[in-house]
Amino acid sequence: MLRGVSFGRIGFLLTAFLFPGLIGTFAGYSIPAPVVDAMHQSAALDAVLAAQNTPAEAAAIANLPNAVDEDTAAIVTNGTGPLPARIAAARDNMWVEVVQQARNSAYNVRAMVITMTILGAIFGVAMLGARDKV
């Protein structure tokens, strides 16, 4: 080993850069998930409204349980009002659920940041505490 360079200090330096990078990577994947989900659900609801004939409309409605949340699909499939009003109510319900999903994702990202920060601090302290034998 080179004089004046310790593995503990190198480990601490790596920890200082790698943990925030890992946190950002994981957060980058989880934060947009509710928005992407909303886009797919909105497209499925739009497909019902855009159907040009009764068979296409029936097929789009039959696909809703696969494309949107269960209760959002139920508003359209089990509703009794005009179809545009049921779609509007389903879309409102969808946005309420998307906001809740976004809040849950934000909470999970915060919990991950706190956990990774504590683990990074413990690892950094352990690395700084390691003694070199030269």
Closest CA to 98 of 110, 106, 87, 88: 106
- Is residue 108 in some structural domain? yes
Our count of domains for the chain comes to: 1
Please give the pLDDT value at position 28. Answer: 77
Q: pLDDT per position in the chain (134 positions), as tens?
A: 556 667 777 777 777 777 777 777 877 777 788 888 899 999 999 999 998 888 988 899 999 999 998 999 999 999 888 999 999 999 999 999 999 998 998 888 888 888 877 887 787 777 776 555 54
- Is residue 1 in some structural domain? no
- Is residue 2 in some structural domain? no
Please give the pLDDT value at position 17. Answer: 77
- Is residue 134 in some structural domain? no
CA–CA separation, 42 and 68 (whole Å): 8
- Is residue 39 in some structural domain? yes
CA–CA separation, 15 and 21 (whole Å): 10
- Is residue 76 in some structural domain? yes
CA–CA separation, 45 and 119 (whole Å): 44
Given a contact cutoff of 8 angstroms between Cβ atoms, the answer to whether 42 and 94 are in contact is yes
- Is residue 93 in some structural domain? yes
Please give the pLDDT value at position 13. Answer: 75
Please give the pLDDT value at position 96. Answer: 94
Count of residues in the chain? 134
Q: Which SS3 state, helix, strand or coil, does residue 127 take? A: helix
Domain of 50 in residue numbering reads as 7-23+33-129
- Is residue 118 in some structural domain? yes
Given a contact cutoff of 8 angstroms between Cβ atoms, the answer to whether 62 and 35 are in contact is no
Given a contact cutoff of 8 angstroms between Cβ atoms, the answer to whether 23 and 113 are in contact is yes
Closest CA to 66 of 41, 94, 88, 38: 41
